[in-house]
């Protein structure tokens, strides 16, 4: 699963990620994107799913749809430079303590095999998909999940994949900046990886005012680089 539309990513986005001649912003973004990738670098695309990224999604992150083009430019740049791309996908059972219906914090979202759990149709899929939240676990980080009852943590395959590919540095983009992007970035730092979170390529839930600032501060304190 997950690599069906890998071919043509570069063509669709344009060889240098800028499909609109004269669009200085796109060109500049693409130039930055290119500089980030190469040997030992991986791109992690977090939860670009309909329930988060599409207007009308059950847990829509404000502005989530605005980052689709920028995320695709990163995917194209990474692919062109030979950097692997990994995608996380929140993938819950219909009933889980993660949901408010069972005492959890969130409205039901990304229920497996539903349109809300599918990737936003605009996002290029060009790499392995790593599902999290499967079997009712809380899955914020791409690296690990937590049993909501026992609190026991277990690892996804992401850490193994990065180690096997001699990845020393990751770029983390997607949704949401104060939850899954944050937890993934912190876990990556804990694993000794160099981590970049370009702030233009994420959006924040901001359940409580100031969550965005606090999340960015936590990332910076952990040594995550957060260019605009």
Nearest distance, CB of residue 202 and Zn ion, angstroms: 16
User: In sequence order, which residues have a C-beta less than 8 Å from that of residue 170 and are 6 or more positions away?
Assistant: 41, 42, 43, 44, 162, 188, 193, 194, 195, 196
Q: Is 194 exposed, middle or buried (0-12, 13-18, 19+ CB in 10 A)?
A: middle
Nearest distance, CB of residue 17 and Zn ion, angstroms: 30
Segment interacting with Zn ion (CB under 5 A) among 7-15, 39-47, 86-94, 194-202: 86-94
Q: Is 90 a binder of Zn ion (CB under 5 A)?
A: yes
**What b/e readout covers 158-180, taking b as 16+ CB neighbours within 10 angstroms?**
bbebbeeeebebbbbbbbbbbbb
Nearest distance, CB of residue 145 and Zn ion, angstroms: 10
Segment interacting with Zn ion (CB under 5 A) among 34-42, 70-78, 126-134, 210-218: 126-134
Measure the CA–CA gap between 154 and 136, rounded to whole angstroms: 13
Q: Pairing state of beta strands 41-46 and 128-132?
A: unpaired
Which is nearer to Zn ion, 26 or 117 (by Cβ)?
Answer: 117
Nearest distance, CB of residue 18 and Zn ion, angstroms: 34
Which is nearer to Zn ion, 36 or 92 (by Cβ)?
Answer: 92
- Per rule CB under 5 A, count of chain residues that contact Zn ion: 2
Dihedral pair phi/psi, residue 122, rounded to 5° = -80, -10
Nearest to 16 by CA among 38, 39, 32, 3: 32
Which is nearer to Zn ion, 51 or 74 (by Cβ)?
Answer: 51
Nearest distance, CB of residue 100 and Zn ion, angstroms: 11
Q: Is 65 a binder of Zn ion (CB under 5 A)?
A: no
| Interface pattern 127-146 for Zn ion (x via CB under 5 A) | ------x-------------
State which of positions 166-195 bind Zn ion (CB under 5 A).
none
Dihedral pair phi/psi, residue 166, rounded to 5° = 55, 40
Q: Is 41 helix (H, G, I), strand (E, B) or coil?
A: strand
> Directed axis angle between helix 180-190 and helix 211-221, to 10°?
10
Which is nearer to Zn ion, 74 or 90 (by Cβ)?
Answer: 90
Which is nearer to Zn ion, 65 or 90 (by Cβ)?
Answer: 90
Which is nearer to Zn ion, 178 or 196 (by Cβ)?
Answer: 178
Measure the CA–CA gap between 30 and 46, rounded to whole angstroms: 19
Residue 214 in tokens: 């606090």
Segment interacting with Zn ion (CB under 5 A) among 2-10, 21-29, 87-95, 187-195: 87-95
Which is nearer to Zn ion, 114 or 226 (by Cβ)?
Answer: 114
Binding site for Zn ion (CB under 5 A): 90, 133
């Amino acid at each position: 699963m997950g690599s069906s539309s890998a071919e043509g990513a570069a063509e669709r986005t344009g060889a240098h990620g800028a499909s609109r001649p004269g669009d200085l912003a796109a060109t500049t973004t693409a130039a930055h994107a290119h500089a980030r990738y190469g040997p030992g670098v991986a791109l992690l695309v977090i939860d670009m799913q309909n329930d988060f990224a599409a207007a009308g999604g059950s847990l829509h992150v404000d502005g989530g749809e605005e980052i689709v083009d920028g995320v695709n430019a990163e995917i194209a740049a990474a692919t062109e430079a030979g950097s692997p791309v990994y995608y996380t996908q929140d993938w819950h059972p219909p009933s889980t303590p993660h949901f408010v219906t069972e005492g959890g914090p969130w409205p039901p979202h990304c229920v497996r095999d539903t349109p809300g759990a599918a990737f936003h149709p605009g996002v290029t899929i060009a790499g392995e998909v790593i599902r999290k939240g499967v079997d009712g676990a809380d899955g914020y980080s791409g690296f690990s999940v937590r049993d909501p009852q026992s609190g026991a943590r277990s690892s996804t395959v992401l850490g193994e994949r990065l180690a096997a590919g001699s990845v020393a540095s990751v770029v983390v983009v997607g949704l949401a900046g104060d939850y899954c992007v944050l937890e993934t970035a912190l876990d990556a730092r804990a694993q000794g990886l160099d981590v970049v979170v370009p702030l233009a390529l994420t959006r924040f839930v901001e359940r409580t005012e100031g969550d965005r600032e606090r999340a960015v501060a936590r990332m910076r304190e952990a040594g995550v680089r957060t260019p605009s």
